[in-house]
Structure 1
């Protein structure tokens, strides 16, 4: 959104004798509430300091340069926002490189950093409902996060560049943000890299320009997204652009992508990494088919662009539903069934998790349960196994600790526990058995359509299921979502 400067017109006689402070009236002068600092958190019970209060972000404009030789990320992030209260100061989430300057509407602002918060005090208070721009200029080497189960995330330094991704609050490692899914916004990302390398992000590639040995890749997302769904990848990629089914695709594949196949026998030592590029290309060729399949269950694809990214990053052990362009570890492409199922999972998130996003992280089963169930539906179509067979296998073989996870409110320590995925999918399959195929299909489509672009809760989903099925499902959802025990069948 373009900003229009406020023009103050005054006669020379009025200007004489007036001090500058009287030229702009704050909310208190106008009879509103006096300006006060915005809250340092958006109110998530699991992550109290994630996100911020006092404003709503409308757009991020990231103009960044990356030098693989030094690992330095530098540039500026301009955040266009609207105040939701009179603000004397406000916070951005930022644990990234050194801040060099901050401006608000082009005027220098004061700022301090502490505990992952960048607190900005504008030259003058911001009145309630005012639109404003804050620009943060920064430079340095972003940090990589190490986690036992998923390996590296955050800002990963690769052999020829970098890859930025992760959840729940990783965006703040590479750009200042209101880093919570409750506040989505559109994005423009320009990545300036050494000539010969590629810079990849979300949405549509709008421009590529080379000057003085550096190339700028400019990407734009026209549909809002949560900050954690933004990504950047810099390196040697083979980029393929094409159209299918009315969508524009951009695929970025590292020609050196390799992974170690799983051992053929239990206890066998791991083998040597092998190239997975052919399998990546074979699976990516099925993306239009995958989206057509999912659209048949969930309704129209909610975005205008699609594609995928595979980088040669051995320490990356997960895939992420970065909006319009999921990022995949090469490890998922050692087996064609696993590869295609993973594509289905991440694309299902484009409906459930990206378009329909979380109001708070405690509702994460609404993301992972739906995406996992999409895999079951795909595997049924592919003749791998039926959804019922998968349900029965998990129900009969899951260990006791699996059933101890209360997936409707798992706590931050179990946010991405396997039970959130599989018990979440089982909840949907059990719901299908209770309300019937017709009502279940209506629930899936209506949930995606009526809540598109909204932040949602578990209570909203259960209410919709009851409304469309005409049944009281309180006991059902209590057993499947909120009871630390295996639910009875029937």
Structure 2
């Protein structure tokens, strides 16, 4: 393989992980919603991807190196991978291994079974035109060809559209992503840019993400972008940059001018920003919704209007760096821990920046979803409703109800401990409930989580307990009014 694995040599990843109060989740058990994705027989420590992309043909070619540890006696290991042509498969760098590739699974048979606890490497050389993963629920996922370049939006299971992987949210690993593309294109990927080498017509970009990352959060973004700093980022300790098409630079500078204040606010409420830097990509194409990835977020041209019409989405995607990316759900049924928290961050930003308070936003939200069918159980919405608007809204309402009952001080202390204890780890609904009950004290939350998370009927918002006060903007108080955008 070219180069070294992210962060240098690493010990084998454990085959069990601390997943609070959730004995049925975590490594070794298939995800309850996507049981055919991933392989519970091993854990990945690091991915080393060395890829080359040709835009006018859409062809992708590369070598993928996987460092892992067997969790049980492993005669065969399976990787998730789309319909690429496989050229060679190696295990532990020895002679080529036997393999079969069909129905989205690359099954590799080493020359002898891998005993439980054994660290091993696998290398796959492949090429082809990436095909998005097609789903009935959410359309196409993963690699997407743009008019100029490509983007990757994999949540929840589109990662196999561009690299072989153990595609399950609870198997987080370090990454090294090297991408060679024509020199006029800019390549953005997860982590820190460690090198950029230009030849006669191509440039090779190498990024390293040493923080553990789920496969669905791995990404590359390729296009004719200008690399610019985010306005105001020079006053904040977190490096913030952007990749933006030149015609959109002026609108971008206005619309993202308050992002550094959002980071300051969220650090005050949620704890330190969990990664080394934060990057924003704006594509020249319109996107239905923005996309979060670890350490970066992707917006469409339609989200940059020069009037901050999508500012709530800027807050939402930023909040995912804490909730979803650093703290990753151990199983997809806990999705409200990603989306409900990011939605509530929108309300916190509105409150802090002079817009409607979280209480007003909660009342509006409840009025809307009260008119919708009462048939969703938030703690287990089902695969088809994984990204239902009610998961977002009712998740945020659950947090507002909790904040109302326990008060602002306890609520902030709870969130900061939640993100600190599980930083770069796995989380479950049961684990959050246990921590919340400890912060609230005996009997304070009786019935609250049962009604909001496990019953289908929409509860009333609490009318007793300390009223949540306005959230101050720790970066710079503002008298301006932020109009709600949805």
Same fold (TM over 0.5): yes
Q: Deviations over 1:93-143 (max 9, x none)?
A: 112422221111112111112332111111222222221111111100111
Change (3 A) 1:55 1:61: same
Mapped to 2, the partners of 1:281 and 1:169 lie a distance apart of 33
Mapped to 2, the partners of 1:230 and 1:281 lie a distance apart of 26
Answer whether contact 1:88 1:124 (CA < 8 A) is retained. yes
> Which residue, out of 37, 40, 43, partners 1:53?
40
Residue in 1 aligned with 2:279? 307
Change (3 A) 1:337 1:114: same
Mapped to 2, the partners of 1:188 and 1:284 lie a distance apart of 29
Residue in 2 aligned with 1:481? 453
**Higher Cα radius of gyration:** 1
Mapped to 2, the partners of 1:240 and 1:103 lie a distance apart of 41
1:482, distance to aligned residue in structure 2 (A): 1.4
Answer whether contact 2:340 2:392 (CA < 8 A) is retained. yes
Answer whether contact 1:165 1:232 (CA < 8 A) is retained. no
1:3, distance to aligned residue in structure 2 (A): 6.2
> Which residue, out of 298, 304, 318, partners 2:270?
298
1:336, distance to aligned residue in structure 2 (A): 3.8
Mapped to 1, the partners of 2:274 and 2:325 lie a distance apart of 9
Answer whether contact 2:451 2:459 (CA < 8 A) is retained. yes
> Which residue, out of 116, 122, 127, partners 2:110?
122
Answer whether contact 1:82 1:131 (CA < 8 A) is retained. yes
> Which residue, out of 42, 58, 61, partners 1:71?
58
**Equivalent pairs, count:** 435
Answer whether contact 1:95 1:172 (CA < 8 A) is retained. yes
Answer whether contact 2:243 2:281 (CA < 8 A) is retained. yes
Answer whether contact 2:226 2:244 (CA < 8 A) is retained. yes
The gaps in structure 2 that reach 5 residues or longer are: 11-26, 463-486
Mapped to 2, the partners of 1:390 and 1:430 lie a distance apart of 12
1:488, distance to aligned residue in structure 2 (A): 3.0
Residue in 1 aligned with 2:187? 199
Change (3 A) 1:444 1:127: same
SS at match of 1:88: coil
Mapped to 1, the partners of 2:304 and 2:333 lie a distance apart of 31
SS at match of 1:379: helix
Structure 1 segment 185-334 matched on structure 2, within 5 A? 185-240=173-228, 244=234, 245-255=236-246, 276-314=248-286, 316-334=287-305
Change (3 A) 1:368 1:173: same
Residue in 1 aligned with 2:385? 414
Q: Deviations over 1:190-224 (max 9, x none)?
A: 11011221111111111111123111011111211
Mapped to 2, the partners of 1:389 and 1:188 lie a distance apart of 44
SS at match of 2:266: helix
1:286, distance to aligned residue in structure 2 (A): 3.0
Deviates most, 59-68 or 45-54: 45-54
1:170, distance to aligned residue in structure 2 (A): 0.8
Change (3 A) 1:163 1:116: same
1:399, distance to aligned residue in structure 2 (A): 4.5
The gaps in structure 1 that reach 5 residues or longer are: 5-39, 257-275
SS at match of 1:308: strand
SS at match of 2:410: helix
1:331, distance to aligned residue in structure 2 (A): 2.2
SS at match of 1:352: coil
TM-score norm. by structure 1 comes to 0.84
Answer whether contact 1:356 1:448 (CA < 8 A) is retained. yes
Mapped to 2, the partners of 1:164 and 1:281 lie a distance apart of 24
Structure 1 segment 327-366 matched on structure 2, within 5 A? 327-334=298-305, 336-366=307-337
Given the alignment of the two structures, is residue 159 of structure 1 paired with residue 147 of structure 2, yes or no?
yes
Mapped to 1, the partners of 2:180 and 2:29 lie a distance apart of 32
SS at match of 1:207: strand
SS at match of 2:239: strand
Change (3 A) 1:310 1:147: farther
Answer whether contact 2:28 2:41 (CA < 8 A) is retained. no
TM-score norm. by structure 2 comes to 0.85
Residue in 1 aligned with 2:74? 87
Residue in 1 aligned with 2:482? none
1:398, distance to aligned residue in structure 2 (A): 2.5
Answer whether contact 1:225 1:354 (CA < 8 A) is retained. yes
1:145, distance to aligned residue in structure 2 (A): 4.8
> Which residue, out of 420, 424, 429, partners 1:453?
424
> What RMSD in Å do the two structures reach over aligned CA positions?
2.1
Change (3 A) 1:3 1:120: farther
1:246, distance to aligned residue in structure 2 (A): 2.7
1:241, distance to aligned residue in structure 2 (A): 5.1
Given the alignment of the two structures, is residue 386 of structure 1 paired with residue 374 of structure 2, yes or no?
no
Answer whether contact 1:279 1:334 (CA < 8 A) is retained. yes
Change (3 A) 1:57 1:460: same
